[in-house]
Amino acid sequence: RSRWNLWVDRMMLRVNGPVASGVSLVFLAFVLWALPAASQAGVDVGLTQSIDTSFGMSADQLWVIAESYGPTIRQAYIVQRWTFDVLWPIVYTSFFMSSALYLGKKIKLNDGGKTLLFLIPLGVLFDLLENSLVSLVFALFPIRIIGLTEAAVLMTPIKWVFVSLSMILVLGLAGVALVRPWIKR
């Protein structure tokens, strides 16, 4: 058994209904209030183009955005990435992981399924890498380091692949948890 699966087993013992519900409420509060407020705050300081939701942005496009923002808006972007955008990935990862652990415990997830849960923290890893690299591009502007801008834009689609797989995984576990009692009858 892998160390990851042993860790998942320990966490499954700790995540119960009230814990999963509490994390879900925090996630819902972020979706309903914090995300719109952060988005509006970004617009208020001039952050008009969303970098971290652009699945196919090129390095040149990121560079044009960095140039068009100017020093004040680039600084506002960096501040937002290292305040709100550090909390948000932690919140959504906590939601995905606690939901997956709770549902996995309910359906008695096997070792292969437990290994799949490793996809969840990869989303937050690539989200934080994306934030770090874009922040570096903006902080160093107009100095362009070969490969840095390219790496920054590469993190966005990788992040979205893992975040999407996390959503699909949690929805799949929820589906199994809902259908399994009917199949056993």
For residue 41 the two structure tokens come to 């705050």
Q: Is the pLDDT of residue 185 over 70?
A: no
How much is the pLDDT for 52? 79
The 3-state secondary structure of 90-101, one letter per residue: HHHHHHHHHHHH
The answer to whether the beta carbons of residues 175 and 85 sit under 8 Å apart is no
Quick: pLDDT tens for 124-176.
999 999 999 999 999 999 999 999 999 999 999 999 999 999 999 999 999 99
Quick: pLDDT tens for 100-116.
999 999 999 999 999 99
Q: Which residue has the higher pLDDT, 184 or 155?
A: 155
The Cα 10–Cα 99 span in angstroms is 15
Residue 143 region by backbone torsions, left for phi larger than 0, else alpha for psi between -120 and 50, else beta? beta
**Taking the model in full, what pTM does it have?**
0.91
Residue 82 has φ and ψ, to the nearest 5°, of: -105, 15
Q: Is the pLDDT of residue 184 over 90?
A: no
Quick: pLDDT tens for 27-79.
999 999 999 998 898 889 888 777 877 778 999 999 999 999 999 999 999 99
How much is the pLDDT for 41? 87
Continuous segment of H or E residues that includes residue 171? helix 148-184
The Cα 162–Cα 167 span in angstroms is 9
